Chain A
Amino acid sequence: MTAPLLEVKNLRVEFPSRHGTLLALDDISFTIAPGEILGVVGESGAGKSLTGAAIIGLLDPPGRVAGGEIRFEGRRIDNLPYEEMRKLRGRHIGAIFQDPLTSLNPLYTVGRQLTETIRTHLPLNATQARERAIGLLQETGISAAAERIDQYPHQFSGGMRQRVVIALALAANPKLIVADEPTTALDVSVQAQIISLLKRLCREHGAAVMLVTHDMGVIAETCDRVAVMYAGRLAEIGPVQAVIHQPAHPYTAGLMGAIPAMDEDRERLLQIDGAMPRLTAIPPGCAFNPRCPRVMDRCRSERPELLDAGATRAACWLHDVSLAP
């Protein structure tokens, strides 16, 4: 096996507050191989966006990495000084955010934003940078790129803007792209275009992707592996096919059953009763135990580690082989 591009080990992120410290991410560990697409899925508040923000070093204060480490190409990046992190971000790790309108500066033309990014990270002069910018826009499927490069973000439609943001993220040929809900603000027909574009470009540029989304369909279409998060913890991680078709964690199984399917008729959807706990009130033991249909005594007191569960790894005592009869 090749060395991982990104290695996240026992990551903890805390938010100190007046009412005590909130543990927003608790003991998150995973790796991303070069060129691999890892999906991170979960409901709102599960900590998926926060994981992305921690990796690119853009945690909103007072949030901070309180434990564990993040390694990029073997080098520790979670404790880098601001300036060094800034150089790494953009050059080696690109970012795509949910809302393409807020991630572009409305006062600058698209071309200026692209060339600025390119020249910050690559040794090119203004003409070369502009050529590269036009090339990138063409690659992302923007027609008449040579003219449109001098337009402002508001002159682009939502889907076109997200294409510009993808071009920006790819500007310096990064090895990893953290994409946080890149298609959530878009309509389905545009979403399909953006997803296939992202997938194709990352393959061509050899970039690995960490794709954060709440949409299982997007994960199924795009990713090689998927990590399922619940209440700031990893519930399950494994190859996409296995997680979707043979989920090992009861939460993943519930999540899959809750999605209305296009190819079967069910009178009722499978529902997980209750809601995800707030960070201030995470139950002891497994965070999912109050909602779990297969809860055991042990789940209420002991927190499960990620255990081997067939093709995937799941944080669930059901897969503890030492106790199996």
Chain B
Amino acid sequence: MSTLVEVRDLAKGFDVSAPWLNRVIERRPRQWVHAVDGVSFSIERGKTLALVGESGCGKSTVARLLVGLYDPSAGEVLFDGQNIARTLASPQALALRRRMQMIFQDPYASLNPRWTVRNIVGEPLTEHGLVRNDAELKDRVVELLRSVGLVAADMEKFAHQFSGGQRQRVSIARALATQPEFLVCDEPTSALDVSVQAQVLNIMKDLQRSRGLTYLFISHNLAVVRHVSDHVGVMYLGRVVELADKASLFATPRHPYTRMLLDAIPDIAMSGRARTPVQGEVPNPLSPPTGCSFHPRCPHANERCRQERPALVEIRGVRVACHAVEEGRL
């Protein structure tokens, strides 16, 4: 197995300071939100890494950093050995973009309402010079639509003529147009109903098998993550707190936050398992807590957790950022 994507100490800060005049008159300081703060992971070719976490934990920012929609403040992303930020600024940018594509959350906002599906799905093909003439373009678009369960006649339709699930299939067809190796999927099924979500997840799995795709799958839904992923990274306030293969993460979650997330899922089987009540909410990312950012909500926090930020270290095969796990208290 070779590594396709490697992320090293990736960080992204956003300047959210008040306007200059307010800063001068009201003596307000500059303010930064560290949306992503020192994240490292790698994805093997043909596998799926899922990033999971609550709103504001930075998972979508990671997705955007990976495809180059944001420039990292620090750290780097390596795609097949190439530094993404550097390559995208060089003449090789087009070749790199062809190899990685993104699927967005909202199928209503990510398709141009004035374009037909032929134009939407065909644009990457013409942009990258992958077709020579109109006839070839049409054949390729039809083939792409078929691969996601749509029909040739859908080509002349506009986005509003489709249901949410069909629109998301159009997004997938567009992403597949350049025959990428790596797809970044940012909450691709969150806007969909469960029966439609099942259709889209099945298509994504089938495509991965037939084309050997590598996915970064962003979601807040742990059940969906469990269904699609091979490895899972749990994020909290801009940092990865636990990184493990799917089986061990769901069977023996180590980090207290992972345990809390798993406990919070409504139990559809009604097995009557015991649940620890969840405390508190995600703190304001403008003023994250000192030390381990989870300590105000953590039942196992002690003085060290309040002061010293835990690093992501490997403990019995999984990577966890927690003093309690490291010290064997948990």
Contacts and interface: CB of A to CB of B under 8 A. Distances in A.
Query: Which of A195, A214, A217 has the most chain B CB atoms closer than 10 A to its own CB?
Result: A217
Interface in B260-277: 260-261, 263-271, 275, 277
B300 to A, nearest CB: 16
A262 B166 contact: no
Contacts of B309: none
A135 B164 CA distance: 44
A24 B54 CA distance: 35
B261 A189 contact: yes
Interface stretch (A3-11, A253-261, A293-301): A253-261
Given A217-B268, A221-B267, A262-B222, A271 B195 contact: yes
Interface string B159-178: 00001111000000000000
A272 B195 contact: yes
B82 interface: no
Contacts of B268: 216-217, 220, 244, 259, 261-262
Given A214-B194, A221-B267, A260-B224, A269 B54 contact: no
Contacts of B147: none
A260 B263 CA distance: 16
B281 A188 contact: no
B196 interface: yes
Contacts of A214: 193-194
B281 A220 contact: no
A269 B201 contact: yes
B222 A268 contact: no
Contacts of B266: 191-192, 195, 215, 217-218, 220-221
B282 interface: yes
A258 B227 contact: no
B306 to A, nearest CB: 20
A254 B195 contact: yes
By size class, the interface of chain A is 35 or more
A217 B163 CA distance: 25
Contacts of B226: 260, 262
B199 interface: yes
Interface centre among B165, B199, B205, B222 (most CB of A within 10 A): B199
B202 interface: yes
B248 interface: no
Given A188-B265, A218-B266, A259 B54 contact: no
Interface in B173-230: 193-199, 201-202, 205, 220-224, 226-227
A218 B268 CA distance: 8
A276 B165 CA distance: 11
A67 interface: no
A146 B268 CA distance: 38
B231 to A, nearest CB: 16
B185 to A, nearest CB: 15
Given A187-B54, A188-B222, A271 B281 contact: no
A321 B194 CA distance: 31
Contacts of B198: 257-260, 269-272
A63 interface: no
B108 interface: no
Contacts of A262: 222-223, 226, 250, 265, 268-269
B299 to A, nearest CB: 13
Interface in A254-288: 254-255, 257-263, 266-273, 275-276
Given A258-B195, A269-B202, A189 B223 contact: no
Interface string A162-196: 00000000000000000000000001111111011
B55 A187 contact: yes
B89 to A, nearest CB: 37
Nearest to A278: B163
Nearest to A268: B202
A159 B279 CA distance: 11
Given A43-B195, A189-B278, A192-B278, A267 B265 contact: no
17 contacts: A43-B193, A187-B220, A189-B282, A192-B263, A192-B264, A195-B266, A196-B277, A214-B194, A215-B266, A216-B194, A216-B268, A255-B195, A258-B198, A260-B201, A262-B222, A271-B202, A276-B193
Given A257-B198, A261-B268, A275-B166, 14 more contacts: A43-B193, A188-B54, A191-B266, A195-B266, A258-B195, A258-B198, A259-B198, A260-B223, A262-B265, A267-B205, A269-B227, A272-B195, A272-B198, A275-B163
Interface of A: 43-44, 157-160, 187-193, 195-196, 214-218, 220-221, 240-241, 244, 254-255, 257-263, 266-273, 275-276
